[in-house]
Chains A and B, each alone.
Chain A
Amino acid sequence: MSVLHLAILLPLLAAPFIPFLFRALKRIHTGWFVLVVPVLLFVYFFRFIGITSAGDVVSETVEWMPSLGINFTAYVDGLGLLFALLITGIGALVVLYSIYYLNKDKESLGHFYVYLLLFMGAMLGVVLSDNMVVMYMFWELTSISSFLLIGYWYEKERSRYGARKSMLITVFGGLSMLGGIVILESIVGSFSIRDMVANQALIAESPFFVAAMILILLGAFTKSAQFPFHIWLPDAMEAPTPVSAYLHSATMVKAGLYLVARMSPVFQESSLWLWIIVSVGTFTLFWGAFNAVKQTDLKGILAFSTVSQLGLIMSLLGLGAAALHYDGIDDNIFMVATIAAIFHLINHATFKGSLFMMVGIVDHETGTRDIRKLGGLMTVMPITFTIAVIGSLSMAGLPPFNGFLSKEMFLKATTKVFSMDFFALDTIGILIPVVAFIASVFTFIYSLIIFTRTFMGKAKFDELPKQPHEAPIGMLIPPAILAILVVVLGFVPNVLSNSLIKPAVESIYPTLVASGQEVKVDIYFWHGPTPELFMTLGIIALGTLMFFMINKWMGIYNHIPNRLTLNGMYDGSLVWSNKAAYRFKDNYMTGFIRSYLIYIFLFLSGMLLFSMYWFDLFNFSFGEMEAVAPYEYVLGAVIILAALAILFMGSRLPSIILLGVIGYSVALFFVFFGAPDLALTQLVIETVSVALFLLVFYHMPEISRKEVRVKFKVENAIVSVIVGVTVMLLSFMALSNRSVSSISEYYKENVYDLAAGKNMVNVVLVDFRGFDTLFEIVVLAVAAIGIYTMIKFRTTERTKGAHEHESEK
């Protein structure tokens, strides 16, 4: 167990102590204790920058299940470190923010911070595990802790709905991913991601390549809220705002991006990879931006904008795969896409985190997040307003903020599809920059909506639940830090180039790096009059125009009927599957023993007849048979007639007597077959059985002793004939396939020498196979005790039961 492992597990190890601290130290906000964890971890991971930027990796293994090849291998490279720093850095800011956001007397903070720490540890485990099964374990832990955090205010119905929805969708994706992992392991023979990357050619040749890729991508798409799985994210906004800021903008939803980036070296040679990711990502980008504009809840806008931005990063990661097919020149222009993806991932975490915290402040200080009720807060909350403007403009992609830089790189990457002459990118691919342009216009519009509707316009303070005022300083510090980062990264983007972005990009292209190509990360603020600059100008112009005419075209959103929305379909499918399951259950679980017996009998016959047919066992060849003596015919006829007659007996007494007739005839058969012991036992037992039957018959209550006509039932008759014929055929089959001789020769030879007895059956029963007899005695004893109990322990029960019956009536 190395220090690195302890660092990953530190949040999980700290979690159990939180409830005790919450109980014991009531005066201090529990968040202060929690804050220590991410700060320590951030400092710890910060020290790795030197290692990864030099191109080295750190790998530590702890054996967990070595026989299954599942070991906890912690692996730090550029990509993992970038995420680890995001998780711990933003984690620290979110914990600080939550200290001021959540009231220590009104909220159960013990729960909150346990869930948050669980999540933090799980997320660190996801990004720093080399073993895919371990990664999957942490992956599901993020789903579970996210479920708990969304449902934190569990007394609210919407919270429970959102938590359940996110759980269903992300766990569906997680399980698909597990399938992909298992397929990959079966190809490569190892769960290690590095082994998979090394055996990438082997995977590419496998017939299961596409299946594995799609299953893995399902996991990534559901987690990162890509279309059509994005629907859980807006409903997850019922969580407390620090949670939304942390999980649903900066970290958990990026786990899918991490997975795509991490698995890129394995899959990205395939054109399918590029096409699936780019098309899903681009469409998500458009759909999220399009839907964000119509939201009236600030967190709703931010949720859809997160969906949209995640789609942007996703499509960039897909486009980055083109770099592998384009190695003509040193200056690999498609690597720009991956660099832009990583850069925007950082930028998005900063500005979206600050925006969520800003919304939390507004909610906290005014009591509402509805933009129809808000307005004119600029003068009362100047610092919050500044943060909102910086975050929104960076999201819109305006200079001088970092969003501008990554947006420019994004547009540059999309316009480059024209120059690609493979995978049909130069034909259908033209759609990519077009969609990207439209989506950016919508992004611009909703970014403007966020701060203009909230902070500008007419002040309507009378309608607000609370009288607004500026937030406490502690609540402002975390978003302010993020906003400052937005500006700093905007002006000096290259501070991160060599330390974080380059190692991360290098981990996505291990083959290119190995072949000696160097990744050049150089982010320019001003790159001349390029096409993307004109696109940005177009976006600003069109966006401003549409923003001011927003009332003219808002009507288009009303044309989508509720039933056809994805949410409507999700809800409908839940209701439908519930109903269908109930209907299915009600149809076959009738509650009548008879139905179940019919299923059992038909299944038995069906399976037997089918397998006899399948293995071609209907060729009966009986060989030498014993001749049938005339008296045996007579006896057999008696049994058959009695067995048939018993079916038509209306009264029970004749049926009992007929059963006795059959029993005694069977005993006679035993005599003919040379089985005296059997005959003896059968005679005695049949006598006792008939006596018992008569006893029961005699003691029957008056009402049911009356004669009932037995109604003939056709389906019962069919079933019974089928079963009878099956058993008969079965015995024919067994008779004609006797391939080994009986073991009984041994008994016959040794019965006297070894066991000192002459009656072979008795010797077999008590000597050779005495255990059978022992437990048969036990069966009789148990039956006797059971009967005694049933008869004896009843008087009280009976009177009680009778009383209950009466009281019911």
Chain B
Amino acid sequence: MEIFVSIIIGVLTMSAVYMILSKSLLRIIIGTGLLSHAAHLLVLTMGGLKTGAAPVLVDGVTEYTDPLPQALVLTAIVISFGVTAFFLVLAYRAYQELTTDNIEEMKGTESND
């Protein structure tokens, strides 16, 4: 299972990097979204994907999945959401101000260095 998820993580990372290297701002943000999915899965997988009940205390159950990576990932999801939202609005504002979403056109000139 872990190996399979690792391969998924690799593919997600690859796509994310390819998207981040493109010119369009929106595609870059999609790439960061993919990258955060990969990171969340990575953290969870590295904790070990043991079978067991969800980490909610129930009488008679002894095997639980690891709660700590889940807590970490939960925090990471929220933070990445905040950053993505901010970044999206930034991109939206950039469209409005610069009327382009091509980051190669968002280059300073010699005069405004």
A residues lining the B interface (CB < 8 Å):
591-594, 597-598, 601, 622, 625-628, 632-633, 636, 639-640, 643-644, 646-647, 652, 655-656, 659, 662-663, 666, 669-670, 673-678, 681-682, 685, 688-689, 692-693, 695-697, 699-701, 703-704, 708, 710, 713, 716-717, 719-721, 723-725, 727-728, 731-732, 734-735, 738, 742-744, 747-748, 751-752, 757-761, 764-765, 769, 772-773, 776, 779-780, 782-784, 786-787, 790-791, 794, 798, 801
Contact = CB atoms under 8 A, between A and B. Distances in A.
20 contacts: A625-B1, A639-B12, A643-B34, A647-B15, A656-B30, A670-B44, A673-B49, A674-B55, A692-B85, A699-B92, A716-B21, A720-B17, A724-B17, A727-B9, A728-B13, A731-B45, A758-B56, A769-B71, A779-B83, A787-B89
B90 A644 contact: no
B20 A597 contact: yes
B83 to A, nearest CB: 7
Chain A, interface SS category:
helix
A779 B80 CA distance: 10
Given A594-B21, A659-B34, A748-B55, A673 B44 contact: yes
Which one of A636, A721, A783 has the highest number of Cβ atoms from chain B below 10 Å of its Cβ?
A783
A689 B1 contact: no
Contacts of B37: 662-663, 666
A131 B102 CA distance: 61
B18 A787 contact: no
Nearest to A768: B71
Contacts of A773: 75
Which one of B15, B45, B67 has the highest number of Cβ atoms from chain A below 10 Å of its Cβ?
B67
Interface in B50-83: 50-58, 64-68, 70-71, 73-75, 77-79, 81-83
A701 to B, nearest CB: 5
Contacts of B26: 652, 655, 693, 696-697, 700
Contact of A703 (B34, B44, B55, B99): B99
A696 B55 contact: no
Contact of A710 (B22, B52, B71, B79): B22
A44 B81 CA distance: 76
B108 A639 contact: no
A720 B27 CA distance: 15
Interface of B: 1-24, 26-27, 29-30, 33-34, 37-38, 40-42, 44-58, 64-68, 70-71, 73-75, 77-79, 81-86, 88-93, 95-97, 99-104, 107-108
Contacts of A639: 8, 11-12
Nearest to B97: A801
A719 to B, nearest CB: 6
Nearest to A732: B6
Contacts of B107: 591-592
B4 A632 contact: yes
A625 B7 CA distance: 15
Contacts of A744: 66-68
A636 B4 contact: yes
Given A699-B96, A720-B17, 13 more contacts: A594-B103, A601-B21, A675-B65, A678-B70, A682-B77, A696-B89, A704-B100, A721-B14, A735-B3, A760-B57, A769-B71, A780-B78, A798-B96
B93 A713 contact: no
B82 A783 contact: yes
Nearest to A640: B11
Contacts of A622: 2-3
A671 to B, nearest CB: 9
Contacts of A765: 71, 74-75
Nearest to A590: B107
Contacts of A692: 84-85, 88
Given A625-B2, A643-B12, A675-B54, A742 B24 contact: no
Given A643-B15, A742-B66, A636 B5 contact: yes
A719 B45 CA distance: 24
B89 to A, nearest CB: 5
Contacts of A761: 55, 67, 70-71, 74
Nearest to B14: A724
Contacts of A752: 57
A391 to B, nearest CB: 56
A647 B16 CA distance: 9
Contacts of B16: 720
A662 B34 contact: yes
B24 A779 contact: no
A336 to B, nearest CB: 65
Contacts of A794: 93
Contacts of B17: 601, 719-720, 723-724
